[in-house]
Structure 1
Amino acid sequence: MENEIAQKVAKADLPITIPVKTFLLLLIGTAFWGSGFPLTKIVMSSVTADVAAFFRFGIGALVMVVYCLTKNKTTRKVGRGNWQLIILAGFIGVTIFNLLLFTGLHFANASDGSIIIPILSPVITVILASFFLHEKLRRIQVIGIAVALFGTVIFFSVIFDGSQLHLQRFLGILLLLGSALCWAIYTILGKRLFQRVDPLPATAYGMLIGSLIIGLVALPNLITTNWGSLNFNFWLINLYLAVFPTVLAYLFYNNGVKEIGGGRASVFMFFVPISGLIVSALVLYEIPTIFQVIGALFMIIGVYIVNVQKIPMWGFSK
């Protein structure tokens, strides 16, 4: 059975074991992402959703492109035939994803976003990957995802008790669901793109293109923004959002997609809720209930089942 698994993984050009460095980078990157939900909520108390998205990814894109330009020409090389895919990935994974995400967070809670995006994105991704990338979804992976989804049900059973669910929040949740779908599609596109182009220039140029489109959408609100009311803390938070949950998290995640495949990399998104809940409690005083904690624990268990198994496919290598 183990030899059969190894052969199937080899055919898909995926490593049999997960490099420790790849595992840690994916874990750290998703933790950064989780912190971005509550901090974004704080930023949007001063500006509109599209302006907040443009600040974060406009600054992030500049940092990414400058970093990319410090690399050698071979690393920076994209190739004419890859630009269409880069533009498409930037449009879906940066522009559409973030406009839906930021607008959704405007209406919904930060905790809603930190749960919906990471839980549903991998589910959609592994389904798409099995169809389009021929990445085999094994029974044990299905069990792990089911355990994590069970934890999500526990979490939302407390939040959506009927009396709390109103039209505005429901709209936000629908937008967040659309954002999760965009991220799944971006992951699939990324797997194909990163086989041709290094993740650094692909991510940098895709983010630049996507943020420029966001800027065009946000232009009317940018003109009417009261710039004098934006204090030092506002810009400090934006700088953090641009560098850590945006630049570093994107690089770490895209490298993981290239190294271990879109389906397996996307499962690390289950770590995002843990970081999101912790930071939400610290900065927004959204204290999770005991049921939310239990739900989060089930999600961690689900990630463990999928990613840390005593079989060659999920072993660790240096």
Structure 2
Amino acid sequence: MSGHKRSVLPVHPYLLLTLTVLFWSGNMVVGRGLRELVPPFSLAVGRWILAFLLTLPFAWPHRWTLKGLDCRQWLVLLVLGALGVGAYNTLAYIALAHTSATNAALLNSFIPIAIIAISWFFGHQAKKSELVGVGISFCGVLTIISHGDPAILAGFRLNVGDVWMLAAVLSWALYTLGLRWRPPGVHPMALLAALTAIGLLILLPFALHELASGAVLHPTATAIAGIAYTGIFPAFLGYVFYNRAVAEVGAAKGGLFIHLMPVFSTILAAIFLGEVPQLYHLLGIVMILAGIWLTTGFNRR
């Protein structure tokens, strides 16, 4: 794959990660907003069908790079497709039907911590700067979500939606770490098309069962626009950007950028909802950026 990186997206990986998290911040809002219109599995299938159609023209000329993969390599693709496409966003959509976007954002921020913890379990020793950086940025997340009031965090209680979100966190941490084992030589777009196809094959039976069990899909203009957003930006562009960036900077640094989600939520609320940022917003944003700066090594460049 290394031979294709520069020709596909000659953009700095940290910029790609920042754009990815911006798209995913909108995905959380859309997923919460569509909970009454589109059931979670139907939303996941709709977004991935659109993402697959967008990926296919770019992947088709490179389909030959998938030929010759052995059973072990296809097993890796099966696991990655199940975790990254089939599980993460679907579990998040299920969670958002039962919990608030705030709770989901808080729990989603455990992804960088989960990545480092799982890496440590498999023998990878995190650098001190990584641990300190993740800790500082996570404190920034807590500052924003708690509005600077520790009593809010003290009153936090898990509900069934939060448990689903924790499952989503685990699936994405495993997906991010698993990218290191993707088959070498497979073109990035062919890889994404394969993972999307695998995820769709896993999701389709669940979506059909969901509708057969009485869930109702309301094809309103709002629902269609929401599905279009999730398919184009978080699914298609987000995964292209994330996969490419993690291939360059590694799982720990790539996952850390997820802490930017509360930052973007604050900025988007200020732009579109007229909400004035408070002191705790600014303090949290400074801490998140400081943690990312420390971990990614900007201070050594």
Q: So what's the TM-score if we normalise by structure 1?
A: 0.79
Choose the corresponding residue for 2:32, options 31, 38, 41.
41
Do the aligned partners of 1:32 and 1:275 also contact (CA within 8 Å) in 2?
Answer: no
Q: Secondary structure at the match of 1:230?
A: coil
Equivalent residue number for residue 84 of structure 2: 93
Deviations, residues 215-239 of structure 1 (Å, cap 9, x unaligned): 2112133345655x42223212211
Do the aligned partners of 1:36 and 1:241 also contact (CA within 8 Å) in 2?
Answer: yes
Choose the corresponding residue for 1:72, options 34, 38, 62.
62
Q: Cα 1:215–1:292, aligned 2, differ >3 Å: closer, same or farther? A: farther
Q: CA deviation at 1:308?
A: 4.1
State the alpha-carbon separation in 1 of the partners of residues 183 and 21 from structure 2: 19
Q: Cα 1:42–1:282, aligned 2, differ >3 Å: closer, same or farther? A: farther
Q: Secondary structure at the match of 1:202?
A: helix
Do the aligned partners of 2:77 and 2:195 also contact (CA within 8 Å) in 1?
Answer: yes
Q: CA deviation at 1:139?
A: 1.3
Q: CA deviation at 1:45?
A: 2.2
Q: CA deviation at 1:36?
A: 0.7
Q: CA deviation at 1:301?
A: 1.9
State the alpha-carbon separation in 1 of the partners of residues 138 and 270 from structure 2: 22
State the alpha-carbon separation in 2 of the partners of residues 22 and 162 from structure 1: 33
Deviations, residues 63-97 of structure 1 (Å, cap 9, x unaligned): 2234311x334555572342111111111222222
Q: Which moved more, 1:194-203 or 1:55-64?
A: 194-203
Q: CA deviation at 1:55?
A: 1.5
Equivalent residue number for residue 310 of structure 1: 299
Do the aligned partners of 2:95 and 2:161 also contact (CA within 8 Å) in 1?
Answer: yes
2:142 pairs with 1:153: yes
2:114 pairs with 1:124: yes
State the alpha-carbon separation in 1 of the partners of residues 245 and 133 from structure 2: 19
Choose the corresponding residue for 1:245, options 226, 234, 256.
234
Query: What are the within-5 Å matches in structure 2 for residues 1-318 of structure 1?
Result: 21-69=12-60, 71-75=61-65, 77=67, 79-81=69-71, 82-117=73-108, 119-132=109-122, 134=124, 136-158=125-147, 161=152, 170-193=159-182, 195=184, 197-223=186-212, 224=214, 226=216, 229-279=218-268, 290-311=279-300, 315=301
Q: CA deviation at 1:133?
A: 7.3
Q: Cα 1:20–1:139, aligned 2, differ >3 Å: closer, same or farther? A: farther
State the alpha-carbon separation in 2 of the partners of residues 215 and 100 from structure 1: 15
Do the aligned partners of 1:104 and 1:171 also contact (CA within 8 Å) in 2?
Answer: yes
Equivalent residue number for residue 6 of structure 2: none
Q: Cα 1:299–1:162, aligned 2, differ >3 Å: closer, same or farther? A: closer
Q: CA deviation at 1:296?
A: 3.5
Q: Which moved more, 1:39-48 or 1:183-192?
A: 39-48
Q: Percent identity?
A: 23
Q: Which moved more, 1:106-115 or 1:217-226?
A: 217-226
Q: CA deviation at 1:282?
A: 6.3
Q: Which moved more, 1:209-218 or 1:269-278?
A: 269-278
Q: Secondary structure at the match of 1:46?
A: coil
Q: Cα 1:50–1:74, aligned 2, differ >3 Å: closer, same or farther? A: closer
Do the aligned partners of 2:62 and 2:190 also contact (CA within 8 Å) in 1?
Answer: no
Q: CA deviation at 1:288?
A: 6.8
State the alpha-carbon separation in 1 of the partners of residues 249 and 276 from structure 2: 35
Q: Cα 1:76–1:261, aligned 2, differ >3 Å: closer, same or farther? A: same
Q: Cα 1:214–1:106, aligned 2, differ >3 Å: closer, same or farther? A: same
Unaligned 5+ segments in structure 2 are 1-9
Q: Count matched residues.
A: 288
Q: CA deviation at 1:114?
A: 3.1
Deviations, residues 188-236 of structure 1 (Å, cap 9, x unaligned): 1111115453332222211221122222112133345655x42223212
Unaligned 5+ segments in structure 1 are 1-18
Do the aligned partners of 1:154 and 1:292 also contact (CA within 8 Å) in 2?
Answer: yes
What residue identity is the alignment partner of 1:110?
A
What residue identity is the alignment partner of 2:112?
P
Q: CA deviation at 1:40?
A: 1.4
Equivalent residue number for residue 4 of structure 2: none
Q: So what's the TM-score if we normalise by structure 2?
A: 0.83
State the alpha-carbon separation in 1 of the partners of residues 273 and 42 from structure 2: 21
Do the aligned partners of 2:143 and 2:284 also contact (CA within 8 Å) in 1?
Answer: yes
